[in-house]
Structures are given as structure tokens and as C-alpha cells.
A and B are shown apart, each in its own frame.
Chain A
Amino acid sequence: DAKTTQPNSMESNEEEPVHLPCNHSTISGTDYIHWYRQLPSQGPEYVIHGLTSNVNNRMASLAIAEDRKSSTLILHRATLRDAAVYYCILRRNNDMRFGAGTRLTVKP
């Protein structure tokens, strides 16, 4: 399985940008980088995905390194509702396997 490495936890202040890193040095050419987040007592929800180019959507931005061995999820202005566990996943066809993720704490 293609593996990802994320910090166990991170803290941010409300209304400041947050950069959540993910290392995936064994990524293959056909693996897509997906990010999901899980709010307390809920199932995971999709955030964003990309292959090679940086991606933006209403929730976040995804910055992918040129060699694709790492990526960063960017929340432009963290709110208290962004406090969650964020998972970085390499998706190969139907394979969607989660790691332990990064627990983001947002301080008011």
C-alpha cells in the first residue's frame, strides 16, 4: 500500500491560515492525493483531491510538490468549525485506506 505520513496534531488560531503537511514518498504516477476530514462524532467528509497541479475549491487549497512526494492542505482562514482530524490518502483506483491523520485544534 502507498503510505502517507502526517503529524499527529497541530494547533492554529482562529482566522489564521493553516498548512497541514503530508509526506508520500512512495507515491506512484497514477495515485491521486485525496484529503478528507472528520469532525467529532461524524463520518469523514471529502475536502479536496489532486494529481499534479495545485487545486482550489470552496473549502481549501491543495499544494502538491513538483516531485509529488509531499503535499500541503491549506485552510485560508481557520474557524472553530474546522477543528477536526484531517486525513491525507493516496487513492489508487478503488483503494481508499486511511492513516491516523492530523488532529487540528483551532483556538479562539
Chain B
Amino acid sequence: EAGVAQSPRYKIIEKRQSVAFWCNPISGHATLYWYQQILGQGPKLLIQFQNNGVVDDSQLPKDRFSAERLKGVDSTLKIQPAKLEDSAVYLCASSLVTANTGELFFGEGSRLTVL
């Protein structure tokens, strides 16, 4: 079974530029999460989708971050314009079930450096 795919693995941009990250979840997984992980910290939930609908985006900085999940499969996370503090690893995860017992499967992440 293929895992969660993310691209690009690494991205370096200058502040005020824009960047987009792509995630392809495990086939059949209805729930998709985007997390931001700053060096030395645990992952912070940015947004959660159930199929193509948003379940929770309370911690997404909506003035500069946006995310979509068209057709309930792939998802993109965009940052525009980027700030220095956006330097982090962006992790995508998917889950088959939404119950408390559901296991999350994570991708390897996309590392963003903002100069």
C-alpha cells in the first residue's frame, strides 16, 4: 500500500514570495490533515478536511495561508506572502476513519526555508 505522498521535499524562498505544497493521501482515506512543525516543537494542526469539506481550520493563519482539497483526494497548501517565521516542515496526514480510534498516516513532510 502506497503511503502519503508530499512534494516538494525541500523549498527555499525569500520572504514575501509564495509557495505551494502538494499532498496525495492514501487511497480511500477521507480525512486529511495539514500540520506545521517548527524546529524543536511538536506538529501544530493547521487544517483538517473530511472529504472536500473543512472540519477545523481554527489555527490556520488565513491572511496568508490557504488550503484546498478538490474532489476529496489531493490537497494543496499555499502560503502567500511568506514570512521568516513560516520556516518549518509541513506535514500531511490522512486517516481512514474519523473515530477516536483512527490511526493517522503521515507523509515525510515538505521542509520550507524562508530567507
Q: Judge whether B45 is part of the interface by a CB distance below 8 angstroms.
A: yes
Q: How far is the CA of A52 from the CA of B108 in the complex (A)?
A: 32
Shortest beta-carbon distance from A3 to chain B in Å: 12
Are the C-beta atoms of A32 and B101 separated by less than 8 Å? yes
A-B contact pairs, 13 of them (CB 8 A): A31-B100, A42-B108, A43-B4, A44-B91, A44-B106, A45-B106, A46-B104, A49-B103, A51-B100, A94-B48, A94-B50, A96-B45, A98-B35
Q: In the complex, which of the residues A31, A87, A95, A98 has the most CB atoms of chain B within 10 Å of its own CB atom?
A: A98
Contacts of B12 in A (CB 8 A): none
Shortest beta-carbon distance from B74 to chain A in Å: 17
Are the C-beta atoms of B100 and A43 separated by less than 8 Å? no
- Residue of chain B at shortest CB distance from A51: B100
Supplied contacts A46-B103, A94-B31, A100-B41, 18 more A-B pairs, CB within 8 Å: A41-B108, A42-B109, A43-B4, A43-B93, A43-B107, A43-B108, A45-B106, A46-B104, A49-B101, A93-B99, A94-B55, A94-B98, A95-B56, A96-B33, A97-B44, A97-B45, A98-B35, A99-B42
Are the C-beta atoms of B42 and A98 separated by less than 8 Å? yes
Q: Judge whether B43 is part of the interface by a CB distance below 8 angstroms.
A: yes
Are the C-beta atoms of B98 and A96 separated by less than 8 Å? no
Residues of B within 8 A of A (CB): 4, 31, 33, 35, 41-45, 48, 50, 55-56, 91, 93, 98-101, 103-109
Shortest beta-carbon distance from B43 to chain A in Å: 5
- Residue of chain A at shortest CB distance from B31: A94
Contacts of B35 in A (CB 8 A): 98
Q: How far is the CA of A94 from the CA of B58 in the complex (A)?
A: 13
Sorted nearest first, the 3 A-B pairs with minimum C-beta distance are: A43-B106, A98-B42, A32-B100
Q: How far is the CA of A34 from the CA of B103 in the complex (A)?
A: 9
Are A96 and B108 CB-contacts (below 8 A) given A43-B91, A43-B93, A101-B42? no
Q: Which residues of A from 16 to 49 have beta carbons under 8 Å from B?
A: 30-32, 36, 41-46, 49
